[in-house]
Amino acid sequence: MITRLILCFLLATLCCAAPAPPPPVQLLKSLAGSIAATAPKTPINNVARTVRKLRGLSAVTRNPKGTLKYYGGPILNRLEVTTLFLGKNPNQSGMNAFHAFIVKSPYMDFLSSEYSGPDGKIGYGTLKGTYVETDAKMLAKKAYTDDGIQSYLTTLVKQKRISPNRNSYYPIYLPPGKSVSLQGLVSCENFCGYHGAVNVTKLGIPNTPYLYYAVIPDQTGSCAGGCGAGSAFENLCSVSSHEIAEVVTDAAMSLVTSVDPMEPMAWFAPESDSGGEIADMQVCNTIQEQLTDAAGKKWTVQKLWSNANQKGTTRSGAVTQQQYEIVKFKRDELEAITPTNHPDDLGKVRHQPSGRVLWGKIYYSYEPPDDLHRIKLLRLFKREVKQLAPLQSEYLAQIVGLCSVYEGANSSVSTFSEYMDCGSLWDIRMKNRVPDESVTSKIAVSILQGLAYLRTHGLYHGNLKLSNVLVNSRGQIKLTDTITCKRLHGRFLYHKGMNEFNGWPGKPAMFTSPTPEEISAEVSPPRGGKDVWNWGLLLIDWVRPEALTEKVSGFDHLIMLFEGALPTFPVGYASPSFQDAVARSLVREYKNRITLEELLEHAWFTEVVGAGVDLLDWVQSIEL
C-alpha cells in the first residue's frame, strides 16, 4: 500500500501509455508509482497512501523485488482487531470469521518468523469485537474521503465507542456502491484498499500515540474481479489479509514525512518500485493462496514478500500440503541437546546438516517375538507416519522427519517435529504453580481446536495427555504424538494394536486412561469418545497434581474408573460453565457423554473464543 512518503515526481515511465477505458473486469495491479492512471489490462494496486519517491531512487534503479529493512517504527506484536462496518453489510459475519482465523493462522507465523522487531516476537492476535455504524448522516454519504475517515475515527474515540490501544486495528468496510478517495485517487479505479494511522496523542490515551485503520471497499460492482482472481468474498479476504500484514509490519507508515526512510516507518524496501511494503511487492500483490482452518474451511489470502526466500509466500517456509515430504534422518546426523525426564521423549535435538532444532519422540517395538515380525511392524509404523505427517494446523506440532534403528528387541522409530521451546504441559506443571482458570480455559480451547482439525480428516487422537500437549514462547498450544491417531471409521491405522508398538523396553507404554467402555469391552463404542474423556482427565491432571492419572497404578485406576468418585476441579477454581463442560466429558456412560461437536458449541467454549485465546503473558511468566 502506498503510504505518505513524499514523491519527488511521478514515475511517468510506468504509465506512459495514454489510459484507455478499463475493461469491465480487470486485474487491478499497478506499480506503486503509477497509480495516477490505470492502463488497460493492468491490475490496480491493493494500495494505500500517497504516491511518493525516496531520495536517491531513479527510474534506472527501479526493482519490483527488494529486501525489507527495519527503520524503527511500531510493529503490532499482538494485533487486536475490531471490525467496523458502515451500515449493514452482507459480509459482516464472514469477515469477522476471517479475522478470527487469520490472526491465529500460519500467516502470523510467517510474519513472526521474518518481521518481528526489538520489542519481541509477533504473536497471535485476537478479534476483539465489531462496531456497526448506524448514524443516518454518516450512512447517507455516497463517497467518503480519507480526511473524513480520520475525523470519524477520532469522533468515535471521543464518544468512547471504540477504545484503541497500541495494538488496536480498525478495518473499515464500505457497503456495496460506496467509494473512498485518497488525495485524488478513487477506490476500485486506482486502488483496492489502503491502511493509515491517525495521531491521537492529544486524546491522552495511555501508551497509544497512534490509531491504526484500513479502508476496504466492497468487492462487487466496479471492484468486481479487479483485486484478485477469486469470488467477491474471496477477494475481500485477500485485500483484508494484505492490509493486516502491512498494519502489523509497518503500522505508522502514513505518518512519515521525510524523503529518507526513517521512523515511524517500520519494515520497508526503499529500493522497490512496487510500493515497498510487505504486501506491495509486484510478485505478491493480488497473488492469492488459500489457508485451511481447524474445521477444514479454506480462506483466501494474499501472498507476502519473504526476505529469506526472495519470493512471495503465505507461511513460513512456503510449504504446502501437496509439496510436503517427510525427511529420513540418519542416526549420526542427530545431536541430543536437552533430554527430557519423560521416557517417551528424546527431548531437544539438533539435525546437524541443516542446523534445525527439533523435538524428538521415540517409539519402541518390544513385544513381537522375532526380528522379522518386529521389522514388519517398524515398516508399517513408518508408512503410517508418512500418511499422517502432512497434516498441517496451527494446533498440531508438524512432523518433519523420522529415524529408524534396528537393534533386535530395542528396535525403534523416532519422529521429529517442530521444536516447541516451552516443552509440554507435563514439563511446565512440574515446575510451576497451577495457573488461574482463564489460562486453563484457553489451553483447553486450543486442545479442542486441535482435536476438531483431526476430525475434519476423519481422525481422533487417541493418546491425549499432558506430555502430548506442547507450548512455545509465542503462546501457541499444539498437539503432538499425532502418529497415534486412529480413524473414526474403517480400519484402525495400526492393525496390530498400539500395545505392540510403543513405550519403553521392558515396561508398558505410558498411555492415557482407557475409557470405561474400552475396559468393559463395549461392542463397537464410538471411537471419538476417547478424546473427550481424556480431555477432561487431562484438565484435572493439570489443575490437581495430587490426582495425576498418569501416575495411578493400573488396578487403582480401574477402581477409580468403575467405582470411585472421579476427580474434579478444586472447589471455586472454575466457573460453573467450565465445570459443566469438564464434568460432562467425564460421564462414564459414553452414550450420555458430551461429544466433541457439542463441546465446540458449548457456552463456555464460545465465551472463551470470543474473549480471545492469548497465552503470551502466561508463557512469559512460567519457569522452564
Element containing residue 92 per DSSP (H, E)? helix 92-102
Asked whether 63 and 271 are in contact (CB, 8 A), the reply is yes
If you ran DSSP here, which 8-state letter would residue 608 be given?
H
Q: Which residue has the higher pLDDT, 396 or 314?
A: 396
Q: Per the confidence metrics, is the pTM higher than 0.75?
A: no
Cα distance between residue 545 and residue 556, in whole Å: 17
Q: Which residue has the higher pLDDT, 19 or 599?
A: 599
From the centroid of its chain, how far is CA 81? 14
pLDDT above 90 (res 573): yes
Q: How confident is the model over 585-613, as pLDDT tens digits?
A: 998 888 899 999 899 999 999 888 877 77
Q: Which residue has the higher pLDDT, 104 or 443?
A: 443
Task: Name the band, by pLDDT with cuts 50, 70 and 90, for residue 373.
Answer: low
Q: Which positions ≥6 away from 285 have C-beta within 8 Å?
A: 29, 43, 45, 46, 242, 274, 275, 279, 302
Q: Count how many residues are written for the chain.
A: 624
Radius of gyration of the chain (CA): 27
Task: Name the band, by pLDDT with cuts 50, 70 and 90, for residue 320.
Answer: very low
Summary mean pLDDT of the chain: 75
> What local confidence, expressed as pLDDT, does residue 315 receive?
56
> What local confidence, expressed as pLDDT, does residue 113 receive?
86
Q: Which residue has the higher pLDDT, 65 or 47?
A: 65
Percent of the chain's residues with pLDDT above 70: 69
Q: Which residue has the higher pLDDT, 608 or 38?
A: 608
pLDDT above 90 (res 160): yes
**C-alpha to C-alpha distances, 398 to 197, 602, 603, nearest whole angstrom:** 37, 28, 30
Residue type, 64: P
pLDDT above 80 (res 33): no
pLDDT above 50 (res 22): no
| Residue 353 preceded by cis peptide, ω within 30 | no
Question: Mean pLDDT highest for which of 57-61, 366-370, 610-614?
Answer: 610-614
> What local confidence, expressed as pLDDT, does residue 121 receive?
84
Task: Name the band, by pLDDT with cuts 50, 70 and 90, for residue 393.
Answer: confident
If you ran DSSP here, which 8-state letter would residue 368 be given?
-
Q: Which residue has the cell 502491512?
A: 246
pLDDT above 70 (res 384): no
Q: How confident is the model over 137-156, as pLDDT tens digits?
A: 999 999 999 999 999 999 99
For the chain, count helices (H), then strands (E).
15, 24
pLDDT above 70 (res 521): no
Task: Name the band, by pLDDT with cuts 50, 70 and 90, for residue 59.
Answer: very low
**C-alpha to C-alpha distances, 403 to 105, 341, 378, nearest whole angstrom:** 30, 21, 11
pLDDT above 90 (res 157): yes
Which cell numbers in the block locate residue 273? 518500485
Question: Range with the lowest mean pLDDT among 316-320, 409-413, 527-531, 588-592?
Answer: 316-320
User: Where do the domains of the chain lie, and which CATH numbers do they carry?
Assistant: 12-37+54-318 (no CATH), 327-619 (1.10.510.10)
Q: How confident is the model over 481-497, as pLDDT tens digits?
A: 877 677 765 444 443 33
Task: Name the band, by pLDDT with cuts 50, 70 and 90, for residue 389.
Answer: low
pLDDT above 60 (res 42): no
> What local confidence, expressed as pLDDT, does residue 503 receive?
33
Q: What is the mean pLDDT of residues 451-476?
A: 86
If you ran DSSP here, which 8-state letter would residue 206 be given?
T
Core vs surface per residue 279-294: b (16+ CB within 10 A) or e? bbbbebbbbbbebbbb
pLDDT above 80 (res 58): no
pLDDT above 50 (res 55): no
Question: Range with the lowest mean pLDDT among 71-75, 113-117, 544-548, 575-579?
Answer: 544-548
Which cell numbers in the block locate residue 376? 514388519
pLDDT above 70 (res 376): no
pLDDT above 60 (res 44): no
Q: What is the mean pLDDT of residues 215-233?
A: 86
Q: What is the mean pLDDT of residues 570-580?
A: 94
> What local confidence, expressed as pLDDT, does residue 29 receive?
26
